[in-house]
Structure 1
């Protein structure tokens, strides 16, 4: 039986997260904007005004503070800050300064992501991460931003560096056959360069080479200006399991898409863990949800305890502090969303009690927003948005999360008699 009061560390960061392109709107100088407007497009629909956070940032921080959260992870857009190579827009930098100020004015810790999938169109046309100048260009951008912005506290250099590997089969599938070839021609015409200049289509060798080198160069540039800042990278990590006899399949997935990244960033100030689900490797070489398990509208398994399992694995392999920079539920069932948050945090608190060094949790997403190639269909937000009016609506799931965040843990005495619904694997992703 667990104690009735189970607390997280006193300085634990309770927050929510978004990405610039997904919420700001009209990021027209970026590669994703170009790809969204190609015809035919690999994107379901254009982002357009998104949820207009470019103009509503302060109002959104008022909502975040009102529901009791004390941290916000958001992205700054390289495409806005350096619209042409070597030309930095002070107006964009000043805008992001106002965003940071809006956080501090409400006692909110800003966690700023410098690169969240999108690139300036000029850089994508030059090959993106496949260009050997990419690490130096990213370091210059990081240096300029860090010198300009006051009040930075925690910085994520890049978001989900390993994502192109995880979605590679799906992404390449969009480009196969006659229809795929037509989409690729349209995409490359819109970009004015190869599709591999877009981050989501970056080939593996560029990720392991220029990508990870850019993280290191960016981190060092930030630290050279502000050595006190906490700097890390975020990775997309699933709870990798195996059916009997498929352990080698699972281990090959870890070796290809997870472990090399963890090994390269071990020793950073933190690793950003971004976990939504569990996937199970099969003896036939495939992987996916286990038969009979519930799945979300994204098609992956509804598995809240995956987060704790992943954090155990990351801590065991790297001995590096962890911030959960993304975790959430997609779907219209907001009652399930609230339960998902509660169950995820329940299992995470047990892992922390076992010695896993997790320093914060950021629910994805604060707002229902633009979900890249899937468009506006999937709903992750604890705040709903009527995009016709841009009106925000606090969902019950926000209040469920708020209750835990305000209390700093679980204080309902009835929890003492309730076992974990799904026990996280003690040894991690084994």
Structure 2
């Protein structure tokens, strides 16, 4: 750091991220599509056309590149590639190859995720991750997709593999009313079995057995095709803190939600860290956002400093390189988003300066998109989308992050310390 400028390491990766189901639209062969259309549904609304990135991928990459970012993390949709058991779609593989090529032609490094919450419906109806056959099914998919796709050097096997460890219990605890039970029944009717076959509802033992095994077999399958690909798994990691006297509860949460998973992937090429907030363990035995602190529309504590804290924790536990595969702010106030990003990055830079090996930062999300059960309400995007016209609108926060990426530094010029001046809600792009 010189003259107030915080420079990131040479080769640091700057990018943005999405997931196929949340942006592509028309993912009709997936379990999530079936669940969205169950009646009554666990989902606020169906995904429909989403933001139509299936057809607008190249246009979105043109925007991403013009902003100054260098990489795009996106998922390849298993339900498109293998719509029936053992039947692989060359057309779908060709589509994702065109997506990779669209990145490369614009100077963007593609980062692929093989499983981002959704499954082919046929596999969900066989039990999804609860099936003992799941790790081998996933490895088969990884091997086939890798053999037919070229032009990428970094891959994530499973997105937020540990997430069900801390969301399943509160999700199920809320499913006690007559309406909620009717939604579960409708979901299980379309799944032809337990709600546990939908990834986000996976029981703990499923994640720690089939889930971790699937990552390992998927990683090995990818490397069996191209050993040079850097492969990791991504974890949802909250900054776990404690009130005085509640340290034991915090430590137990760390062990329950992260410990076994982190220990299982020590020595991988990297670990993807995905952080949005802090959780405080309290003396009364509860845990949640710190009282009196502002929250985002997701109910998270607005805590940009959480990212550096989780990276320190993961590094201390694993001594494995880290890529921040997701971090972002949800809400309509883009001025706060444009402040949140440099605040998080400043603390992250300090952690790197201390020796934490962080090699890249991907903002979530490139676009306002489909936020699963919450539908189209929460807005994380650097780019807004008018879903009536699918017109993109570049937000000031996107320009800000692009400036930081171009400089590979914070504080390199005035634009990197405050939100850029863009008229209205952002610059419209007629794509």
Q: For residues 414 and 120 of structure 2, what CA distance do their matches in structure 1 show?
A: 52
Q: Is the 8 A contact 1:246 1:283 kept in 2?
A: yes
Counterpart of 1:122 in structure 2 is 122
Counterpart of 1:241 in structure 2 is 241
Counterpart of 1:328 in structure 2 is 328
Question: Could you tell which deviates more after superposition, 162-171 or 108-117?
Answer: 162-171
Counterpart of 1:380 in structure 2 is 380
Provide, for residues 344-375 of structure 1, a one-character-per-residue CA deviation record: whole Å limited to 9, x for no partner.
11111111111110000000000000000100
1:205 lines up with 2:205 in the alignment: yes
Q: Is the 8 A contact 2:164 2:203 kept in 1?
A: yes
Q: For residues 345 and 394 of structure 1, what CA distance do their matches in structure 2 show?
A: 21
Q: Which runs of 5+ in 1 are unaligned?
A: 419-430
Report the aligned-residue RMSD.
1.6
Q: For residues 74 and 286 of structure 2, what CA distance do their matches in structure 1 show?
A: 34
Provide, for residues 60-102 of structure 1, a one-character-per-residue CA deviation record: whole Å limited to 9, x for no partner.
0000001000000001110000000000000000000000000
Q: Is the 8 A contact 2:6 2:346 kept in 1?
A: no
Offset at residue 169 of structure 1 (A): 2.8
Question: Could you tell which deviates more after superposition, 360-369 or 282-291?
Answer: 282-291
Offset at residue 413 of structure 1 (A): 7.2
Residue 313 and residue 339 in structure 1: after superposition, are their counterparts in 2 closer, same or farther (change >3 A)?
A: same
- Pairwise mapping of residues 139-218 of structure 1 onto structure 2 (< 5 A)? 139-218=139-218
- Pairwise mapping of residues 292-303 of structure 1 onto structure 2 (< 5 A)? 292-303=292-303
1:311 lines up with 2:306 in the alignment: no
Offset at residue 5 of structure 1 (A): 2.2
Q: For residues 413 and 374 of structure 1, what CA distance do their matches in structure 2 show?
A: 38
Q: For residues 386 and 145 of structure 2, what CA distance do their matches in structure 1 show?
A: 33
- Pairwise mapping of residues 248-263 of structure 1 onto structure 2 (< 5 A)? 248-263=248-263
Q: For residues 180 and 283 of structure 1, what CA distance do their matches in structure 2 show?
A: 31
Residue 85 and residue 402 in structure 1: after superposition, are their counterparts in 2 closer, same or farther (change >3 A)?
A: same
Counterpart of 2:279 in structure 1 is 279
- Which secondary structure does the structure 2 equivalent of 1:280 belong to? strand
Provide TM-score, normalisation by structure 2: 0.95
- Which secondary structure does the structure 2 equivalent of 1:167 belong to? helix
Offset at residue 414 of structure 1 (A): 8.0
Q: Is the 8 A contact 1:15 1:73 kept in 2?
A: yes
Counterpart of 2:224 in structure 1 is 224
Q: For residues 246 and 272 of structure 1, what CA distance do their matches in structure 2 show?
A: 28
Provide TM-score, normalisation by structure 1: 0.95
Provide, for residues 156-214 of structure 1, a one-character-per-residue CA deviation record: whole Å limited to 9, x for no partner.
00000011122113321343232222111100112222111100111110100000000
1:14 lines up with 2:19 in the alignment: no
Q: For residues 163 and 214 of structure 2, what CA distance do their matches in structure 1 show?
A: 16
Counterpart of 2:103 in structure 1 is 103
Q: For residues 414 and 211 of structure 2, what CA distance do their matches in structure 1 show?
A: 48
Offset at residue 411 of structure 1 (A): 3.4
